[in-house]
Chains A and B, each alone.
Chain A
Amino acid sequence: MDESRLAAEEWLVKLYEYAIRRLILMVFVLFMLSLVVFYLTRGLLPPTSALSSYITPRMNDTAKLAVAQSLGVATSSCPSFTDFTRSTPGCVVPLWQQYFTWLRNVISGNWGYTLLPGISGTETTWNVFFSRFPYTAELAIAGAALTILIAIPFGIVSATHNNKLPDHVSRVISLGGYSVPQFWFGALAQILFVLYIRVNGLGFLPANGALATNCGICISDPGLVSQITGVPVLDGILSGNPSYLWDALVALALPSVTLAITSIGALTRIVRSSMMEVLRQDYILLARSKGLKDRVVIYRHALRNALLPAITISGLLTALLLGGAIVIEIVFSWPGVGNASLIAADVLDINFLELYVLVTALIIVATNLVVDLLYAKMDPRIRY
Chain B
Amino acid sequence: MTDPEKAEVSRPTSGSIADIRYGFHLLKQNPLVIFGFAISIASLFIAAFANFIVDPNAWKHTDLSFRLCWNNPAINWGLVNIFNCGAQIYPLGTDSYGRDVLQMIILGIPLDVQIAIEIVTSAVIVGVVFGGIAAYAGGVVDEIILRITDIFLAIPGILLAIVLLVILGRSFGILTLAVAITWWPTYLRLMRSQVLGEKEKPYVESLKAMGAGPSRILFRHIVPNSIYPIFVQATLDIGGVILTVSALTFLGFTPNPLIPELGNLANDGIRYIFTAPWLIIFSGLTILIISLGFNLLGDGIRDVFDPRLRR
Contact = CB atoms under 8 A, between A and B. Distances in A.
A229 interface: no
A357 interface: yes
Interface in A329-365: 330-331, 341-342, 345, 348, 353, 356-357, 360-361, 364-365
Interface in B227-274: 239-240, 243, 246-247, 250-252, 266, 269-270, 273-274
A365 B240 CA distance: 23
B167 interface: yes
A322 B247 contact: no
Contacts of B252: 342
Given A179-B291, A179-B292, A181-B266, A40 B280 contact: no
B79 interface: yes
Given A187-B277, A195-B79, 17 more contacts: A29-B151, A32-B147, A32-B148, A41-B163, A163-B1, A168-B32, A171-B32, A172-B32, A176-B288, A179-B295, A180-B288, A181-B243, A187-B281, A188-B281, A323-B157, A327-B247, A361-B155
B162 A188 contact: no
6 cross-chain pairs, A with B, having the tightest CB-CB distances, nearest first: A184-B284, A323-B156, A179-B292, A179-B291, A361-B154, A345-B166
B175 interface: no
A326 B251 contact: yes
Most A Cβ at <10 Å: residue of B147, B283, B284: B284
Given A181-B266, A277-B308, A176 B292 contact: yes
Interface in A131-175: 163, 168, 171-172, 175
Given A175-B295, A181-B243, A181-B246, A357 B288 contact: no
Interface residues of A, number: 58
Interface of B: 1, 32, 78-79, 147-148, 150-151, 153-160, 162-168, 239-240, 243, 246-247, 250-252, 266, 269-270, 273-274, 277, 280-281, 283-285, 287-288, 291-292, 295-296, 299, 308-309
A40 B167 contact: yes
Contacts of A176: 288, 292
B154 A33 contact: yes
B95 to A, nearest CB: 15
A356 B159 CA distance: 9
A37 B150 CA distance: 14
Contacts of A44: 167-168
Contact of B156 (A175, A191, A273, A360): A360
A182 interface: yes
Nearest to B182: A323
Nearest to B164: A40
B250 to A, nearest CB: 5
A32 B246 CA distance: 30
A188 B246 CA distance: 16
Given A175-B292, A277-B308, A353-B166, A29 B159 contact: no
A357 B163 contact: yes
Interface of A: 25, 28-30, 32-33, 36-37, 40-41, 44-45, 163, 168, 171-172, 175-176, 178-185, 187-188, 190-191, 194-196, 207, 269, 273, 276-277, 319-320, 322-324, 326-327, 330-331, 341-342, 345, 348, 353, 356-357, 360-361, 364-365
Contacts, number: 144
B32 A360 contact: no
Contacts of A185: 284
A188 B288 CA distance: 13
A323 B158 contact: yes
A181 B288 contact: yes
A89 to B, nearest CB: 24
B309 to A, nearest CB: 6
Nearest to B283: A184
Contacts of A361: 154-155
Contacts of A40: 163-164, 167
18 contacts: A25-B150, A178-B240, A180-B288, A184-B266, A185-B284, A187-B266, A194-B274, A196-B78, A269-B299, A319-B153, A322-B159, A326-B251, A341-B162, A342-B251, A348-B166, A357-B163, A360-B159, A364-B156
Nearest to A33: B151
Contacts of A178: 239-240, 295
A322 B251 contact: no
Contacts of B151: 29, 32-33, 36
A353 B243 CA distance: 23
Nearest to A321: B156
Contacts of B285: 184
Contacts of A324: 156, 158
A356 B163 CA distance: 10
Nearest to B157: A323
B273 A29 contact: no
